[in-house]
Amino acid sequence: QLQIVESGGGLVQPGGSLRLSCAASGFTSDYYAIGWFRQAPGKEREGVSCISSSDEDTYYADSVKGRFTISRDNARGTVFLQMNSLKPEDTAIYYCAAVKGFRLCVPWEYEYDNWGQGTQVTVSS
């Protein structure tokens, strides 16, 4: 079982930035498609962004398009989610998820079988 560790969450003022990291030892030895999801209090978990196993395909939810950027550092086995111009409505627990193999990028939870514990992002003044 892949052990995913997210980091980088925290408290930030509106308009600020955070960079989330998602790391797992298996990311350096196999191909994985990676997704970022978030769940705000009282809401269902939603797909925020994802990157295909080849890194050629990415996806962003309309609510974060133009503000968030997903990227991968294969040498470090880490996927990043750079979040700029943060808004209070971005407040949520952010989860990293992975699925092994040559996979396209899809923002659906059921496609992913490895999940991290989540990291809290709070945007507030």
Burial tier of 35 (Cβ tally within 10 Å: 0-12, 13-18, 19+): buried
Residue percentage of the chain with pLDDT more than 90: 85
Average confidence score pLDDT of the chain = 95
Q: Determine the Cα angle at 7 with ends 53 and 101, to 5°.
A: 15
Q: With 90 as the cut, is the pLDDT of residue 8 above it?
A: yes
CB contact set of 90 (below 8 Å; sequence gap of 6+) = 38, 64, 83, 121, 123
Query: Which of 99, 103, 104, 97 lies closest to 119 in space, CA to CA?
Result: 97
Once rounded to an integer, what is the mean pLDDT over residues 2-7? Answer: 92
Digit-coded pLDDT (tens) for 10-56: 999 999 999 999 998 888 888 899 999 999 999 999 999 999 999 99
CB contact set of 69 (below 8 Å; sequence gap of 6+) = 81, 82, 84
At residue 108 the predicted structure's pLDDT band, cuts being 50, 70 and 90, is: very high
